[in-house]
Structure 1
Amino acid sequence: MLGLLLLLQVLASCLWLGHSEVVKSFVSCPQFFYSGLPPNDALNPRNPAWICQRLSNSYHYATLYDRDRRIPVYSAYKYRPGAGKRPDVAWLLEPQLIGENDLKEMTSEMTLMYNHKFTLDQIKDSQAIPGDYTQLKGLDRGHLCPSGHLETILSMAATFTQTNIVPQDRILNNGKWNTYESDTMPEMTKGCKNTFVVTGAVPGNTYVSNGRVNKPSHIWSAACCVVDKNPTKAWGIIAENDKNEVQNMTLGELEERLTELYNATVTLFGTACPRQ
């Protein structure tokens, strides 16, 4: 009888874990990584959260989030730009970072406070909030997964969550980084059936919003082009987060640069995508 009760408890625990999209892997959304393989553990922060970004019962991209620094480490997605305009939506939050609850999808700060009775302090403890970005000088909300790289209005709206943005230099965000996102990517991806992208931020030594949110030292992005199920080319870029300059490089060069910055060997797409 005792053995049966223990078995039932284990099964109940497994079922409860199935309700959360913030788990210890991207098991619910491997489709955003080439061959289902995310970057290696070299990028993992001390207190990570693996988020399958979910809105309206659909997954749109994946994010590794740093709970302590309150910024994403990277967001991974398939490059599928649509014709729609940038949506005008409220900034969303990830309720699953707030202790134990069964809320599966990103939602607004107001909904969390008034419908689900979370306090603002509870929310702020787990992640950055919209108020952390309202008084920043010379910095923008920098999307790691940009709305313009996704196809549907719903997917675009899903990029407007605090777990997908970092404090990014305003001139860089509106300048060379925007040129890469808007002009370079369409050129580089011509002929690709699928393009897998990982865009990340290297933690910096300074914080904003009264020490709550880390300002990254660098912003980077890597892409792997797939034709007929085979990766045919790959590339990367990196930018210091206080200059309007973007360095274009091979995937291998980007991994080597990140290896230096993280002081650990970084691989972004395993060994399948061309590094040269």
Structure 2
Amino acid sequence: MLRLLLLQVWASCLWLGHGKVVQSLSNICDQFFYQKMIATNGLLPRNRAWICQTFQNQRFFATLYDKQNRIPVYSAYIYNPGTGKRPTPQWMVEPQLIRDNLPRDMQTEKTLRETYSVSQKDISNSQAVNQDYLHLNNLDRGHLSPAGHQHTQDGKTATFTLTNIVPQDAALNKGAWNLYEQNTMAGNSKDCQTTYVIVGAVPGNSSISQNRVNIPSHIWASACCKNTKKNIMIAWAAIAQNNKNKIQVLKLGELEKRLTQLYKRGPVSLFHADCPR
């Protein structure tokens, strides 16, 4: 009996020490969700991975990753923009999508090849890689969790992982979506104590890199916070077709209904019931 108990304790310790790719974000990376309610309803792809996005041994945001389409379903983070400069891109990947005995921190493909003796084939088989995004036509590497919404330089750098990126319409990324990220988010969050954000992408019917990486049909965003000035909970959302430089700002409940229709995976629920629809 004592031996069995010791084995159970040992197994629990191993699980608690587990790295970035996990079976569930609960108690590991749920701090990025309001009331620690992780968005799952109506969103889960068949072949998925939960990623606690870690850089320099620090967790900065959480991602639900679609391994089949090689794009994130969404990234969840706390809106806390800082004044630092946007980092020079050094694109990284998620080592533990390859195998779970690799580092918890995101790494460059070069580091994985040269320091950890991982083959490029193994990296490419597990996720999107830099090569997939080298020859884009009217598309950008679109951040779901943007660098500008992170407070520290390490936080900004952490957003440059390809598990946080989708092929996004270039005009939309530089235009209406950028205005939403910079202006709408700042204005709506002005009197918020803590703003919780979930930004995602709906898989489309086309792809890049010889069908390796899906091009989303829509990009969407949602946020919820407590307005300390009015002492009320507020929420808002946005959605854009990924082939037009146009964005629609709408209520959280309206977005959830739209996503329910688009994903066709059941009723979508993004936030705790406290967040007004």
TM-score range for the pair, normalised by the shorter chain length: over 0.9
Give distance in 2, aligned partners of 1:10 and 1:153: 40
Tell me whether 1:223 sits opposite 2:223 in the alignment.
yes
Residues 84-163 of structure 1: matches in 2 within 5 Å? 84-163=84-163
Aligned-residue offset at 1:104: 0.9
Pair 1:13–1:76, CA change in 2 (3 A): same
Give distance in 1, aligned partners of 2:69 and 2:8: 33
TM-score with structure 2 setting the length: 0.94
SS of alignment partner, residue 45 of structure 1: coil
Q: Which runs of 5+ in 1 are unaligned?
A: none
SS of alignment partner, residue 112 of structure 1: helix
Aligned-residue offset at 1:29: 1.5
Residues 260-271 of structure 1: matches in 2 within 5 Å? 260-263=261-264, 264-271=266-273
SS of alignment partner, residue 114 of structure 1: helix
Residues 247-266 of structure 1: matches in 2 within 5 Å? 247-263=248-264, 264-266=266-268
1:242 counterpart residue number: 243
What percentage of aligned pairs have identical amino acids?
Answer: 51
1:15 counterpart residue number: 13
Give distance in 2, aligned partners of 1:265 and 1:227: 27
Aligned-residue offset at 1:231: 5.5
Q: Which runs of 5+ in 2 are unaligned?
A: none
Q: Which moved more, 1:180-189 or 1:136-145?
A: 180-189
- Matched residue type, 2:270: L
Give distance in 1, aligned partners of 2:227 and 2:240: 28
TM-score with structure 1 setting the length: 0.94
Give distance in 2, aligned partners of 1:222 and 1:100: 31
Aligned-residue offset at 1:72: 0.5
- Matched residue type, 1:68: Q
1:51 counterpart residue number: 51
Deviations 1:208-230 (A, max 9, x none): 111100110100000102245x7
2:24 counterpart residue number: 25
| Aligned-pair Cα RMSD in Å | 1.6
